[in-house]
Amino acid sequence: MRKEIPLVIMVACGVFMAIQFFVPHELPALIYQNLNKTVQVVGAVALVLGIVSLLSLHFAKINRRQPGYGYSYILIAFFFMMAASGFLPAKVNLGSFLGTGDRVEGSFYLNLYNYVLTPVQATMFALLAFFIASAAFRAFRARSVIATLLLLTAIIVMIGRVPIGPFVLGDWISDLADWIMAVPNAAAKRAVIVGVGLGILSLSLKMVLGIERAWLGGGR
């Protein structure tokens, strides 16, 4: 019964949600909407569990004095600081530097978001520019016919879709880049997307029919 009951629940929910699509009636629609909401509420509990497990991992790291445990203090401190900032009532004022409560302009919450989260996350992604430049120099070779095709397309798109391309070479380069995007590129992506769609469909069917059981965990 350890696996049977969850499987029955899963199959019932899955089959109902799939069939509901074709049944325009009030009662199924009502159940459908509430099931969608249930996913949001119960699923949010699962997300909170994920965050709790991240924190307990770092608490454990500190307890065991594992290498680099000092960083875990920083992570935990900033976690609680940020989480607390979002629950502060509007009338709280932490001083002119930290800011006010709530989530309005000048709040501690938005200060943390705009001046801590934003620069770190944005710069992490900006680093990728350097790595892609390095990859362009090291790995992007015209080794074969198809590799050359890839390289030429990339160069045409890179030059044709920025203003300097048509400015120096004439409009043909941007027209060519536009055509590549709209025609051969769209065709290639259609092949990929139909494939991805088949993958999503087969995985969903396997879940709903109870064939895919990895989520139940191993053993017993």
Partner 1 sequence: MKEFFQKLLKIDRRWIFLITGVAIVIPFFFFIGLPIKATREVRALYDAVEALKPGDVVFYAPEYDPATIPEVQPMAHAFLRQVFRKNVRVVATGLFQLGVALAEQDLTLMAKEMGKKYGEDYVFLGYKPYPEQVILNMGEDFRKSFPTDYYGNDVNALPMMRGLKNYSDTKMIVSMTAVSGADYWIRSAHGRYNIPLALGVTAVMATDYYTYYQSGQLFALMGGLKGAAEYEQMVGIKGKAAKATLRMDIQSFAHLAIIILVILGNLAYFATREKK
Partner 2 sequence: MPEVSYVQVIWTTLAVFFTLFIFSFLYKDNPLYKIAEHVVVGVSNGYWMILLFRDTFKPLWLDPAWNLVSGKGLSAELTIFVLVNLVFSVFMLLRLVGGNAALLSRWAMAVVLGVSAGVLIPLSVQTYMYEQLKGNVLTFGAFPFPFVSVVSQTAFNNLLIIVGSLSGLAYFFFSKEHKGVFGGTAKLGIWFLMIGFGATFGYTVMGRLSLLIGRIEFLRDWLNMIF
* Tokens describing residue 136: 């362009």
Binding flag, residue 82, partner 2 (CB under 8 A): yes
- Smallest distance from the beta carbon of 66 to partner 1, in angstroms? 28
- Smallest distance from the beta carbon of 80 to partner 2, in angstroms? 7
**Positive or negative CA dihedral for 120, 126, 132, 134?**
negative
Binding flag, residue 216, partner 2 (CB under 8 A): yes
Partner in contact with 173, chosen from partner 1, partner 2, none, beta carbon below 5 to 8 Å by kind: none
Show contacts of 16-23: CB within 8 Å, 24+ apart. 18/208
- Smallest distance from the beta carbon of 91 to partner 2, in angstroms? 17
Total number of residues binding partner 1 (CB under 8 A)? 58
Per the CB < 8 A criterion, the answer to whether 29 and 37 are in contact is: no
Q: What letters, b where the CB count within 10 A reaches 16 and e where it falls short, cover 170-183?
A: eeebbebbeebeee
Q: Which of residues 45-64 bind partner 1 (CB under 8 A)?
A: 47
Phi-psi region of 110 (alpha: psi -120 to 50; beta: other; left: phi over 0): alpha
Q: Which of residues 169-208 bind partner 1 (CB under 8 A)?
A: 171, 174, 178, 181-182, 185-187, 189-190, 192-193
SS3 assignment, position 100: strand
Per the CB < 8 A criterion, the answer to whether 181 and 157 are in contact is: yes
Pick the binder of partner 2 from 16, 92, 94, 166 (CB under 8 A): 16
**What distance in Å separates the CA atoms of residue 174 and residue 159, rounded to the nearest whole number?**
8
Q: Which is nearer to partner 1, 161 or 213 (CB)?
A: 161
SS3 assignment, position 218: coil
Binding flag, residue 142, partner 2 (CB under 8 A): no
Q: Which is nearer to partner 2, 42 or 168 (CB)?
A: 42
- Smallest distance from the beta carbon of 200 to partner 2, in angstroms? 5
Residues sharing a CB contact under 8 Å with residue 106, sequence separation 6 or more, in sequence order: 99, 100
Binding flag, residue 15, partner 2 (CB under 8 A): yes
Binding flag, residue 162, partner 1 (CB under 8 A): yes
Residue whose structure tokens are 């899963």 = 10
**Which positions lie near partner 1, rule CB under 8 A?**
21, 29, 33, 36-37, 39-40, 43-44, 47, 103, 105, 109-110, 113-114, 117-119, 121-122, 124-125, 129-130, 132-134, 136-138, 140-142, 151, 154-155, 158-159, 161-167, 171, 174, 178, 181-182, 185-187, 189-190, 192-193
